[in-house]
Amino acid sequence: MRRYADHWLLVLLLLLVFPLPARAEETVQARIDEAPEYGVVRLASGVYDEAIVLSKPLALEGIGEVTIRSCRKSPVIAIYGRHVVLKNIRVVQCGDAPDMPAIYVTGHDHTIDGVRVLTNQQGVKLDHAHHTTIVHCAVQGEKNGNGIDLWESTQNVIHYTAIERVKDGIYMENSHNNVLSGNHIDNARYGIHVMFSNRIVLRKNISEKNIAGAMVMGTEQTTIEQNSFVQNKRNVHSQGLLLYDAAKTIVRKNRIAANRVGIYVEQARHNELTENDVSHNFIGMQWNESSNNRVSDNSFIGNVYDAQAIRSPDNTIVRNYWDAATKLDVTGKGVSAIPYRADPFFLALTVDVPEYQLFFQSPGMIVLQKLLRSPDEQVLTDDAPLMEQPTARKDRPSRSASLLYVMSAVMIAGSISGFIIGRKRP
């Protein structure tokens, strides 16, 4: 007994001298509440299992590996007011309340920097949030909610954020003047989904392996520049870029490759599509009930079908490069004298009976297409196709030819020995 009493004495002594982890029961929330306005709360490495609310100007910063985790029916971190900074924190949302975000943001002038979100439902929700910056963040979901969801939020900036395995990568509705740049989104439903929001800028984003790269609907004056929409072909409705009821959109210098449909335009007016590289899609560009758009200086390379258009009159389609076109330059101005016709016949055929799509590129289809040539007013025609590709061509990936040599050698040797055996007299 005496021995134990000694120990207790020692412990007591130690506690008196170093009163240090005594604050361990104090929550992050308590520290935030204690901190002054515009103060900084620094969190040491560790897992903090609680939901917190930030409602005054304050910086919450993680030093080392900081995880804030919560499975409650409220956001893990809720931000209100103004000038809140969230930095270098890992946020884990493990609850299963539908559409519950990991981080809820409202108010203005917040900054979320270097935050990694792992969520069961939604990633970050911006609700009436303005002038907020999200930068160098990552969102990883379980395909239940959107990565970053903006509702009536304006003039926000989302930079260099990686989003994967979510419903929509970045979804915005009734949110104007937002800038999305340098983000990388994959394995989502729609990479970027813009609804009824005006003057949005999408620049240098990469959206790949989603059902649709970007969907822009009910918008005006969207700028879509230098993005990559690639490999969006998982679903039979997959598209690289979908413009639906969009007006005055500028689509420039994007790389739209290996999608099911590269660019799909429906009921859209006064848009401008220039200098895009549309390659290796099943259908390069598809138009439906759209008018007064301008398409020029794009490259259409290696698409199974370059372009299809139905009920889309009065579009200006000139000076594009079509690799499938027959080209003849008679004036030396780099423009072909032979117009390129993209016949909508096939698209029109499959509208009534979608099963006829089985005949896509069937050898007999070419005959039928010649027989039933569509009237000229229904055909998407480029009156002056370019001779040379305006967008820069990347170097072809080099493949090892040795395997091919071996293959051909085996084939030749095998068949020649077949010949020799066959020709030998019995």
Partner 1 sequence: MWNIGRMEWRLLMRQYSSYSFVVLWVVILSVLFLIARNDADFAGYTNVTGTIANILLYLLPLFMLISGSFAIAGEMENGQWRLLCTYPLSQTMYVAGKWLGQWLGQTTLFTLSFGVSVALSSFAGISLPVKWVIALYNFSLFLIALFLMFGLAVGAFTSTRWQALTVSVGVWFLFIMIWPTFLIAVLNIVPYPLIVPLLQAATLLNPAEVLRVAFVVELGGSAIFGQAYDHLIHLWQKRFGLILIVYAIGYLCVLWFMATWKLTRRKQR
Specify the amino acid at residue 99: D
Interface with partner 1 (CB under 8 A), residue from 200, 301, 347, 386:
301
Least distance (Å) from partner 1 to the CB of residue 185? Answer: 20
Site for partner 1 in 340-379 (CB under 8 A): 349-350, 353-368, 371
Going by C-alpha positions, the residue among 309, 261, 301 that lies closest to residue 282 is 261
What residue spans of 213-330 are helical by DSSP H? Answer: none
Q: Does 403 bind partner 1 (CB under 8 A)?
A: yes
Task: Closer to partner 1 by CB, 57 or 302: give it.
Answer: 302
Closer to partner 1 at the Cβ: 70 or 303?
Answer: 303
Is 394 a binder of partner 1 (CB under 8 A)? yes
Using CB under 8 A, which of 41, 206, 324, 338 touches partner 1? 324
- Tell me if 80 contacts partner 1 by CB under 8 A: no
Q: Which of 2, 3, 23, 396 binds partner 1 (CB under 8 A)?
A: 396
Residue 329 CB, nearest approach to partner 1 (Å):
18
Q: How far apart are CA 177 and CA 138, in angstroms?
A: 22
Choice between 15 and 367, CB closer to partner 1: 367
Listed ranges 21-29, 248-256, 379-387, 399-407: which one lies at the site for partner 1 (CB under 8 A): 399-407
Instruction: Check binding of 399 to partner 1 (CB under 8 A).
Output: yes
Could you say which of 19, 332, 375, 397 contacts partner 1 (CB under 8 A)?
A: 397
The residue count for binding partner 1 (CB under 8 A) is: 59
CB of 217 to partner 1, least distance (A): 21
The structure tokens listed for 19 are 């009163």
Cα(410)–Cα(402) distance, rounded to whole angstroms? 12
Build a one-symbol-per-residue string for 182-221: x at contacts with partner 1 by CB under 8 A, - elsewhere: ----------------------------------------
Nearer to partner 1, 375 or 422 (CB): 422
The residue range among 51-59, 110-118, 202-210, 295-303 that interacts with partner 1, by the rule CB under 8 A, is: 295-303
Q: How far is the CB of 275 from partner 1 (least distance, A)?
A: 18
Taking the complex as a whole, the smallest distance from the CB of residue 229 to partner 1 amounts, in Å, to 16
Least distance to partner 1, CB of residue 326, Å: 14
- Our finding on whether 326 is near partner 1 (CB under 8 A) is no
Q: Among 104, 287, 305, 345, which residue sits at the site for partner 1 (rule: CB under 8 A)? A: 305
For partner 1, give the closer residue by CB, 5 or 371: 371
Helix, strand, or coil (residue 215): strand
CB 175 to partner 1: min, Å: 32
Q: Please say which residue, 170 or 301, places its beta carbon nearer to partner 1.
A: 301
Report in angstroms the alpha-carbon separations of 189 from 160, 179, 232, 388: 20, 21, 10, 36
Q: Nearest CA to 101 among 79, 84, 120?
A: 120
String marking each residue 238-277 x if it binds partner 1 according to CB under 8 A: x-------------------x-x-----------------
Residues that bind partner 1 (CB under 8 A): 233, 235-238, 258, 260, 279-280, 282, 301-305, 323-324, 349-350, 353-368, 371, 393-394, 396-399, 401, 403-405, 407-412, 414-416, 418-419, 422-423
